[in-house]
Amino acid sequence: MVTALGGRNSDWVLLGSVSVLVALALALRLCQLGYMVGRVGTAASAVWAPLVRQKTIAVTTYRRDGTAPTSPVSIAVDGDHAYVRTWHTSWKAKRLRRNPNVLIAPSTPEGRPTGPATPAKARLLDGAEAVRARRLLAAKYPLLQAAMVPLSHRLMRVRTLHYELTASGYIDDMLH
C-alpha cells in the first residue's frame, strides 16, 4: 500500500535498519582509525600512561612448565591501576590463579605486541572493586564491554572475572 507521502508502509523498517547499519559501520571504522568511542581515564603513573588510550594489550601469563602464552584483552586505566576481564573457565584465568605475575604490552586486536612489555601483577577483584572495573571497561568500550561481552558471557553461562593490574618489578626479583 502506498501512503499519502509516497512509499510503502514498510519503508520505515528498511530505513531504520540501514541507519543502524551505517551507525555501526561508522563506529567500527572510527575504532579502526584509533578513535576512542567511550570515556578514557587518566594515568597517575608513567607505567600506565602509554596504555590509557590503548584498546588492546597482550597479556602474557605463565604455564606450570614455564611457557608463556599471550592473550589479547581490552584494558581500562584509572590512576595507578589497570583493569581487564575474562571468564572463569578460560585458560588465562586458570593460569592467573596459579601465578599472578604477567607481562603486558600494547598490542593489535589479534594480540601481536606493538611495544615494550612491562611486568605486572594481576589481582582478582570482587564486590565493589569488580563493579568499578566493570564500569570503567564499559565506559571506555560502550558497545563491546557494556553490551557484547556481558551478553556473550551470559549466553556461554560463564562467570565474568575482573582483574586489577599493578606495575611490578617481579622480573628483577627473579633475576636476583
| Closest C-alpha to 125, from 156, 88, 171, 154 | 88
User: Do 53 and 77 form a contact (C-beta atoms < 8 A)?
Assistant: no
Which of these, 161, 163, 143, 139, lies nearest to 151 by C-alpha position? Answer: 143
- The total number of residues shown for the chain amounts to 176
Tens of pLDDT, residues 55-111:
899 999 999 999 999 999 999 998 888 999 999 999 999 999 999 999 999 999 899
Quickly name the fold that domain 49-175 has: Pnp Oxidase; Chain A (2.30.110)
pLDDT digits (tens, 9 = 90+) for 20-52: 888 888 877 766 666 566 666 776 778 888 888
Whole-model pTM: value is 0.74
User: Whole-number mean pLDDT of the chain?
Assistant: 85
- Residue 138's identity, in one-letter code, is A
pLDDT digits (tens, 9 = 90+) for 118-171: 999 999 999 999 999 999 999 988 888 888 888 999 999 999 999 999 987 654
Alpha carbons 60 and 116: distance in angstroms, whole number: 12
Question: For the chain, what are the domain ranges?
Answer: 1-35, 49-175
